[in-house]
């Protein structure tokens, strides 16, 4: 059986509220190889770890995440009890215990993500191999590529493997992050022949996990990383 990296989705979303420190802690307890999180830029400039563009679904706040300062966001509760972490807090907590996949979800997130990655490499003994920066947003990925060509980039897609591969080649990204429903034996073989690693999401049921392993994916992003 092919062995694939075990990557916790938004921490361990199937077990503890997504993108919280507690969810990340849970993923680490499961012995993951990596953790995927989403980031947005807030009004005071910091990167905060949060999935949605608006606060309404996950917190007692309303409106766009990007309109609030960090101080204001820290007043809110995620699912009634957790706080919204910053990317810095997550970096300090993970401290290289596993790979960190930072999904640039919000606009204008690339610049600060690059700055932090470079700072943790220069000052905290992280290496480029400890990171994957992924995004659906071509603009953010292009920004990272222009800023620092050593940062491992992954192109996210839920639409087309071939388009993702074509764009990845234009920014020298070596990794594709497709939704699992897109994957076939053929496009997987093509991605590998072009030299790509493939990490697929969000794979939660055991049968699909096995099918993805049979395809030979390099990593699986799951809400239930304990099932991987």
- Catalytic positions are 9, 51
* CB of 35 closer than 8 Å to CB of 101: yes
Q: Which residue in 18, 20, 24, 38 binds Ca ion (CB under 5 A)? A: 38
The site string for Ca ion over 48-87 (x = CB under 5 A, - otherwise) reads ----------------------------------------
Shortest distance (Å) from residue 221 CB to ligand G3P: 5
**CA pair distance 51, 48, nearest whole angstrom:** 9
**Residue number with CB closer to Ca ion (18 or 218):** 18
Torsion of CA 141, 145, 149, 152, to 10 degrees: 10
Nearer to Ca ion, 4 or 135 (CB): 135
Tokens standing for residue 59? 């917190």
Closest CA to 223 of 203, 194, 209, 208: 203
Q: Which does 140 bind (CB under 5 to 8 A by kind): Ca ion, ligand G3P, none?
A: none
Minimal distance in Å, beta carbon 200 to ligand G3P? 9
The DSSP call for residue 129 is G
- Considering beta carbons, is residue 108 or 179 the nearer one to ligand G3P? 179
The first and second tokens of residue 22, run together, are 């507690």
């Amino acid at each position: 059986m092919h062995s694939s990296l075990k990557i916790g989705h938004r921490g361990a979303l199937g077990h503890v509220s997504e993108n919280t420190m507690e969810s990340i802690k849970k993923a680490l307890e499961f012995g993951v190889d990596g953790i995927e999180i989403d980031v947005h830029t807030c009004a005071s400039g910091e990167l905060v770890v949060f999935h949605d563009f608006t606060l309404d679904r996950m917190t007692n706040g309303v409106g766009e995440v990007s309109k609030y300062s960090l101080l204001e966001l820290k007043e809110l509760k995620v699912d009634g009890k957790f706080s919204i972490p910053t990317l810095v807090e997550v970096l300090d907590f993970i401290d290289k215990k596993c790979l960190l996949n930072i999904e640039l979800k919000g606009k204008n997130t690339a610049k600060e993500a690059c700055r932090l990655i470079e700072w943790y490499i220069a000052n905290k003994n992280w290496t480029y191999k400890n990171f994957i920066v992924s995004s659906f947003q071509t603009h953010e990925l292009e920004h990272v590529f222009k800023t620092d060509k050593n940062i491992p980039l992954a192109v996210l897609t839920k639409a087309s493997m071939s388009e993702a591969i074509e764009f990845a080649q234009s920014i020298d990204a070596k990794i594709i992050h497709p939704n699992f429903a897109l994957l076939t034996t053929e496009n997987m073989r093509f991605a590998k022949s072009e030299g790509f690693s493939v990490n697929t999401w969000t794979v939660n049921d055991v049968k699909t996990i096995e099918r993805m392993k049979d395809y030979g994916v390099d990593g699986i992003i799951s809400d239930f990383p304990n099932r991987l």
